[in-house]
Amino acid sequence: MGFFDFLRKSNPPPAGSAAPSDKKVAGPAKVAADKRAQTYDRLEALQQLAEMKTAESAAALLKRFSFSIDPSITDQEEKDIAFQGAVAAGKDAVPGVLEFCVKAEALTWPLKILREVLEDDEYREELIELLGRYDTEYARNVEPKLQIIAALEAVVDDDVREAVAPFLEDVNETVRFHAVQTTFAQNNADCVASLVALLEAEESVRIKNKVGEGLSFRGWVIPTELREKTAAALRDTAGFSVGPDGKIKKGPSY
């Protein structure tokens, strides 16, 4: 069961039934999330929350990742405190982190928290479930989707290959590019057919070169029935072609 399942099955407490720990969090949480608060006050609030090491305090700390301030060195210091405080809460922080991910404009910090507090299998499962919330159609902000796909590049598993495969057809060129990188990172030749299909439909020369480079580097053999299509799709790349052995090489075609 993923942590999203936990969230779906959890019922919010009745109004007016806040626990004492919630009340203890409320004050510093309000200051920590206030971009206009005095730096000293916000820093003190973040430190107070970080010392609590609870699910509630971790959820409050996450709000600090929703904005940036000047100077950047202060912004980084505050976010480091929020990060360490959330990590200190351990797995209790995870439901709040996942809930934050659903609405966040960027996932850099929450994904780092998940990497710190979850075991490898749990981390993989939650990333895949997060990615499954997105489709391949137009989106105003693709940054969260990009960051999840990029994070999965460091996670090698056949489930990852299958989860990322649909995004080889994403309408956003940058998403497709990162999907190609993560697909190759799985080091599984079963992806050859889907990569050839991408080459056929792809208009981005950057992506075509990335596919040609990856196939050439790994020495994967293109199935006989796909070689003609692959050769045609590689014609406008940086010199990639299909050799007589079915492998991609860089240089003139035979």
Please state which architecture CATH assigns to domain 3-8+21-189.
Answer: Alpha Horseshoe (1.25)
Taking only the tens place, the pLDDT of each residue in 32-82 is: 999 999 999 999 999 999 999 999 999 999 999 999 999 999 999 999 999
User: Rounded distance, CA 109 to CA 107, Å?
Assistant: 6
Q: What is the arithmetic mean of pLDDT over 224-240?
A: 95
Reduced DSSP (H G I as helix, E B as strand, rest coil) percent helix, strand, coil of the chain, to 5: 65, 5, 30
DSSP character for 250? E
Decide which of 210 and 23 is more confident: 210
| Predicted confidence (pLDDT) per residue in 133-187, tens digit | 999 999 999 999 999 999 999 999 999 999 999 999 999 999 999 999 999 999 9
Q: Domain spans of the chain?
A: 3-8+21-189, 190-254
Distance CA 217, CA 232 (A): 20
Summarize pLDDT for 157-172 with one digit per residue, the tens: 999 999 999 999 999 9
Q: What are the φ/ψ torsions at residue 135 (nearest 5 degrees)?
A: -110, -170
- At 141 the pLDDT is 96
pTM of the model: 0.87
- Specify the 3-state DSSP secondary structure of 153: coil
Bridge partners (DSSP) of residue 247 are 221
The residue among 138, 145, 198, 210 whose CA lies nearest residue 168 is: 198
Average pLDDT over residues 95-116: 97
What is the spatial distance between Cα 210 and Cα 117, in angstroms, rounded to a whole number?
A: 33
Mean pLDDT of 237-247: 95
pLDDT of residue 22: 77
Whole-number Cα distances in Å, 240 to 40, 202, 209, 215, 252: 58, 15, 8, 10, 8
Q: Cα separation of 211 and 176, whole Å?
A: 11
Cross-strand partners of 240: 250
More confident residue, 2 or 114: 114
Mean pLDDT for all residues in the chain: 92
- 205 close to 176: Cβ distance less than 8 angstroms: no
> pLDDT band at 23, cuts 50/70/90?
confident
